[in-house]
Amino acid sequence: MGVEGQYHLLLQSAIVVCLATTLMGIGLPNNFCLISKGCFMNLEEGHYVVRCEGEHALHRAKSLVNIQFSWFLSGLSIFALVLYIFVVKVYGQKVEYLSLESKEVNLDDEFQDLEMQVKGLGESHSFIQVKKGMAPIDMER
């Protein structure tokens, strides 16, 4: 399996998790609600809205949401760090980079090759072919 296949598999697994939790939320809506003390769910215009009885309950609910978000962010950061450490251990060998150019290439030879192409004096050794340009009249917009 190539790189694209692995990304596709990862995307499929994320979709399966989202679909499973969505179906569980439809079947068991009360199990996924963490509502603060003093608040309740109210059906308004076809969807549920959490309403709080007073100012104190509203502040408690906002604090609960902030704590949940902080725990989620901390967990995600720890997961990313552990994944990074795992990938470094698995693929952490030293990588040696090589230049694509040959060390023997001389810039003067490339310049002479270009001049020979333009003048039509010899066979080019380059994979880039330089031909006469088009006259300004021949160009279209």
The confidence band for 3, taking pLDDT boundaries of 50, 70 and 90, is confident
Confidence at residue 113, expressed as pLDDT on a 0 to 100 scale:
57
Confidence at residue 86, expressed as pLDDT on a 0 to 100 scale:
93
Domain positions in the chain: 9-91, 101-131
pLDDT digits (tens, 9 = 90+) for 68-113: 899 999 999 999 999 999 988 888 777 777 777 655 555 555 555 5
Confidence at residue 92, expressed as pLDDT on a 0 to 100 scale:
79
pLDDT digits (tens, 9 = 90+) for 82-91: 999 998 888 8
- The distance of Cα 109 from the centroid of its chain, to the nearest Å, equals 43
**Count of alpha carbons within 13 angstroms of residue 39, beta-carbon side:** 22
On average, the pLDDT of the chain sits at 78
pTM: 0.44
CA 101, 102, 108, 111 dihedral sign is negative
CB contact set of 82 (below 8 Å; sequence gap of 6+): none
Q: How many helices (H) and strands (E) does the chain have?
A: 3, 2
Q: What single-letter amino acid sits at 90? A: V
Confidence at residue 131, expressed as pLDDT on a 0 to 100 scale:
57
Distance CA 113, CA 126 (A): 8
pLDDT digits (tens, 9 = 90+) for 11-20: 999 899 989 9
Residue holding tokens 């090589």? 98
Find the mean pLDDT for residues 4-8: 86
For residue 62, give the nearest of 71, 48, 72, 52 by alpha carbon.
52
Distance CA 128, CA 138 (A): 23
